[in-house]
Amino acid sequence: VARCASQCIAVPRLNDAKRWVLIGSLALCAAAVYGPSLGVVDVLLMYLLADRCFRHAGVAFASGLALLFAPAHIFYIRSFSVDDIWCLPVTLWWAVAVTALFEPPSPGTRWMLASGIGALPMSAIREPSALLMLPIWIAVTVLMFRRSGPWHWRDVVPSAVALVVGMALMVWASAASATTLGQFRRFLDTADMRNMFVAARALGLCWDFFRPSHLFLTPSAPGFSGMFLTPFVVPILVGIHALAIRRAEPRAGIDRMIPAIVAGCVGGPLSAAMSGDVTDGTSLLTVPFGLLLAAYGATVMREWGRTPWRASFAALCLIATIQAGALLGLGR
């Protein structure tokens, strides 16, 4: 396992072509596990997102792999309905697109951002609570834009146009299906956060969603896994701690993604809680953003020193492998 870890870390030495072969194999692996579904796209996008946040192909590879074996992701990817899973690739693409703000504005980065923001309204087609995430994502984009330095308002004009077009498309698609807007109206009635008791219930449900047994160690689940594999509790906690400490020099990309990570981890369950129905499905966004946090924590652990890092990484990998095996029913 330690050797495997070393090889993962050594991935940056590979050239671009080899990296794509590697991640392509990973995607094929996902296809083999899940069947042809949105999960393959999720894994690829997770790889891309982590790569752009950490500029480290090893971390990106591990992040893709982690999503591949995330219990909640596996469960919903393999279900017949795409209602819950639909928003995931769209939101992940948005997250990849906003990483364009880490670079100076250019035609390429402007259109990359525009494509992500334009696609965002599509995430809300299937799930009313996802529509509530839309203003949150837009607010996060504005916040990241304000902190981006060289970007000016004129650079985001294509994004604004794309958003308007995307919204129009969403309204059209909703009108065509004749359900989503009505659902959303009903959802807003139940999710009236101006009422203190509705807010209290939503906060309570959201807090309950994050209880340790639900996230990491569910006694009744296969392999005792929660939404995440149990060993991820360590890097996620390290990641939260690292994010809470303000750094003099921000890390490449990932520190600027903090608003997106917070919104992704908390926003999903909170918006679902407003309707009084928090399930793993309606809160699936927590998984990729939680894994991004775990990747951040893993990079911090790596800085603690070579030997402790390798030892803990090896131990966590071993436990995760055993648990993933149990989860997938290997050895039965």
Partner 1 sequence: MTRSSSAAWVAALGILSALLYFHSLGSSPPYLSIEEVAQARDAVTFAATGRDMDGRLLPMYFPEPGSPLGREPLFIYLSAAVLKTVPFSEAAARATSAAAGLLDVLLMFVVARNIFGRPALAAAAAGLLMLTPVHFLQSRIGTQQIGTVTCVLGWLALLTGFLNTGRALRLFAATVCLGVGMYIYNGGFLLMPVYFVLTLVVVWRRPIGNRKAELQAAIGGYLCVVLPLFVWYVIHPERITRLAEYYTHGEYNKDMGSTGFTGGGAIAHLDAWWQCFNPDKLFFSGDADLRFSTRGAGYFLLPLAVPMIAGVRYASRLLRKDVAFVVVGGLMLSPLPAAFVSNDEAKRWLPFLPFAIIVATAGIEFLRAGGRRVVEACAFGILLTARWLTPLASPLLLAAFVAQWTFAARRRAGYVCVAALTLLGALQMARYLSDYFGPYRIESSGHYGGNLRGAIRQAIANSAPGDCVRLDRRVYYLEDQWDLYTRAYNRLDLAQRTFWFDAAGGDEPPASCRGVTTVGDVDDTRFSTWRKTPIPELSGPVRLAVYRSAAP
Say whether residue 203 binds partner 1 (CB under 8 A): yes
Name the residue nearer to partner 1 (CB basis): 32 or 245.
245
Q: Does 326 bind partner 1 (CB under 8 A)?
A: no
* Per CB under 8 A, 197 contacts partner 1: yes
For partner 1, the closer of residues 178 and 196 by Cβ is: 196
Chosen residue from 24, 204, 305, 308 binding partner 1 by CB under 8 A: 204
Q: Which two tokens stand for residue 89?
A: 């690739």
Number of other residues whose CB lies within 10 A of the CB of residue 9: 19
Which residue, among 246, 249, 230, 251, has the nearest Cα to 294 in the 3D structure? Answer: 230
Residues near 153 by Cβ (< 8 Å), separated by ≥ 6? none
Applying the rule CB under 8 A, the residues between 228 and 267 that interact with partner 1 are 244
DSSP state of 228: S
Instruction: Provide, rounded to whole angstroms, the least separation between the CB of residue 192 and partner 1.
Output: 11
Binding test (CB under 8 A) with partner 1, winner from 6, 25, 213, 279: 213
When asked if residue 276 is in the footprint of partner 1 (CB under 8 A), the reply is no
Instruction: Give 55 or 201: the residue with its C-beta nearer to partner 1.
Output: 201
Nearer to partner 1, 219 or 331 (CB): 219
Tell me whether residue 201 or residue 251 sits nearer to partner 1 (CB atom): 201
Q: How far is the CB of 198 from partner 1 (least distance, A)?
A: 10
Q: Locate all alpha helices (DSSP H) within the chain, ordered by sequence.
A: 2-9, 16-34, 38-54, 57-68, 71-77, 87-98, 107-119, 128-146, 157-177, 180-190, 196-209, 212-216, 233-244, 258-262, 268-274, 286-303, 306-327
217 binds partner 1 (CB under 8 A): yes
Rounded Cα gap, residues 300 and 167, in angstroms: 39
Residue 322 tokens, joined: 């055993």
Kindly state whether residue 200 participates in binding partner 1, applying the rule CB under 8 A: yes
Distance CA 81, CA 155 (A): 38
Mark 150-189 with x for binding to partner 1 (rule: CB under 8 A) and - for no binding.
----------------------------------------
Separation between Cα atoms, residue 151 and residue 256, nearest integer Å:
14
* Residues near partner 1, by CB under 8 A: 194-197, 199-201, 203-204, 207-208, 210-213, 217, 219-220, 224, 244
